Structure 1
Amino acid sequence: MVTAGQVIAFAAVIQLGAMSPGPDFAVVVRQAAVSGRRGGMAAALGVAGGVFVWAAAAALGVAALLAASATAFTITKIAGAAYLLYLGARSLQAAYRGSEAPLETMTETVTGGGILDGFRRGLLCNLLNPKAAAFFVALMPQFLGNHPATADTLVLSAIAVLVTAIWFVVLANVVGSLRAFFTRRRVRRALDAGSGAVLIGLGVRLAATSN
């Protein structure tokens, strides 16, 4: 059974990992800036859902197989890079078109479709990142050992989801509270251009990552 000290240490490592700038951070920030708090929180929960999958997969050894298999790693890497490039291209397209033809809704209320879109973006961004698999492959065995109990696996997976969700939900709310500023035409175009460039850069970097 994992101890309280192990739980605290595990939560701290997850927090540091979540706070590190990367694709998840970029997607949640842009979603919150463009679609408001609800859209940003939907993306945050999507990222948390991906974290749960990777944490559980690492505990069960599935993520280790992915990290060890050059073919599986490459396929996931290419898919993830392509998705980030797609999101980046859409952001640049939005910047080029300007606020007169936004790709996302500009209204304060996010529709159910917008929430689902935000959740899907966060989920896919995390699931298609093989670095997330490598992170949990390296982390989980240090706290669970070679033959983890199901209860311990569920506890640590739940903690990973909770810590990640709280961080990104807070981030989404902070950015979402400034949405009136971000939706100004010049600011919005700068945001779209900047986030597009960042996402494309992250996609290129992911594509160049070696196993």
Structure 2
Amino acid sequence: MGGMTTAAQLMAFCGVVGLGAMSPGPDLAVVVRRSAVRGRAEGMAAATGVATGVFLWAVAAAAGVAALVATVPVVLTTIRYVGAAYLAYLGIRALLAAIRPPETGPGAVPGSTGGAFRDGLLCNALNPKAAVFFLALLPQFLPAHPGTLETLTLSLLAVAVTLLWFYTVANLVAVFRRVFDRSGVRRALDGLSGAALLGLGARLAFVRS
């Protein structure tokens, strides 16, 4: 699409990115679990990690790097399997937390906003579907030869929309943290989120879109 991006096109871009962020997936699972088990700060740190991954993929798509990822089978396959392995690791960790005694469970172990940020970042950055999403989306809203300003504007808009959604999720879930602090509820949440992350990892590894 040639020329400058109009306000209507920017709104449309934000809408598509928002729908992508809202779709159920590993990003949402990680933010919800961190918010419920560890609290608002870690939920927002995980959300920031996800948004950082979005920024990296958006810039990579605009720079042509995502096209390489999406078209070279070995690169795409490597990212896919590493991402699946990381999701499996997070899932197993959550399942182990569900079966530990309360005194050694997640409630007794100090959390880490840095670890939450890392989980959010890696979940997004190691998801090849994010590369394909931005590779398909960005060219529709950028001129044929985009400059730094156009690329940076769309990338930051993608980050802002992602942060808005996941910060909202983190804060809403954190409101009910007292409920999640109950041992039985926390075990159930860890078990469900662990199973969900394992399922998402298996889907990423074995189901080709």
**TM-score normalised by L of structure 2:** 0.95
Is contact 1:99–1:188 with CA below 8 Å preserved after alignment?
Answer: no
Residue 41 in 1 paired to residue 29 in 2?
A: no
Contact 2:102 2:108 in 1 (8 A): no
Identity over aligned pairs, percent: 57
Amino acid at match of 1:123: L
Shift of 1:164: 0.1
Residue 209 of structure 1, CA deviation: 3.2
Give 1:104 deviation, angstroms.
6.0
* Match in the other structure for 1:30: 33
C-alpha displacement of 1:102: 1.7
- In structure 2, C-alpha distance between the alignment counterparts of 1:99 and 1:199, rounded to whole Å: 22
Compared CA separation, residues 2 and 105, structure 1 to 2 (3 A): farther
Q: Which residue of 1 aligns with 2:15?
A: 12
- Deviation at 1:145? 3.6
The separation in 2 between residues aligned to 1:84 and 1:138, in whole angstroms, is 24
8 Å contact kept, 1:88–1:200: yes
**2:90 corresponds to:** 87
Deviation at 1:55, TM superposition (A): 0.3
Is residue 29–residue 171 contact of structure 1 (8 Å, CA) maintained in 2?
yes
Q: CA deviation at 1:106?
A: 6.2
Residue 95 of structure 1 contacts residue 192 of structure 1 at CA under 8 Å; is this kept in 2?
yes
- The amino acid of 1:146's aligned partner reads A
| Deviation digits for residues 38-83 of structure 1 (CA, Å, limit 9, x no counterpart) | 0000000000000000000001110011000100001000100000
Amino acid at match of 1:166: L
- State the secondary structure of the residue aligned to 1:100: helix
Unaligned runs of 5+ in 2: none
- Hey, what's the Cα distance between the residues in 1 that align with 2:16 and 2:83? 24
8 Å CA contact 2:107, 2:181 repeated in 1: no
Partner residue, 1:168: 166
- The answer to whether the 8 Å contact 1:46/1:122 transfers is yes
Which of 37, 55, 62 aligns to 2:58? It is 55
Deviation at 1:174, TM superposition (A): 0.5
- The aligned amino acid for 2:94 is S
> What TM-score, normalized by structure 1, do the two folds share?
0.94
**CA separation in 1, counterparts of 2:161 and 2:101?**
36
The offset of 1:103, in angstroms, is 3.7
Match of 1:64 among 67, 75, 89: 67
Task: Kindly report structure 1 stretches of 4+ aligned residues shifted beyond 4 Å.
Answer: 104-107
- In structure 2, how many angstroms separate the alpha carbons of the residues matched to 1:32 and 1:178? 9
Alignment of 1:1-211 (within 5 A): 1-103=4-106, 114-210=112-208
**Does the CA-based 8 Å contact 1:42-1:115 persist in structure 2?**
yes
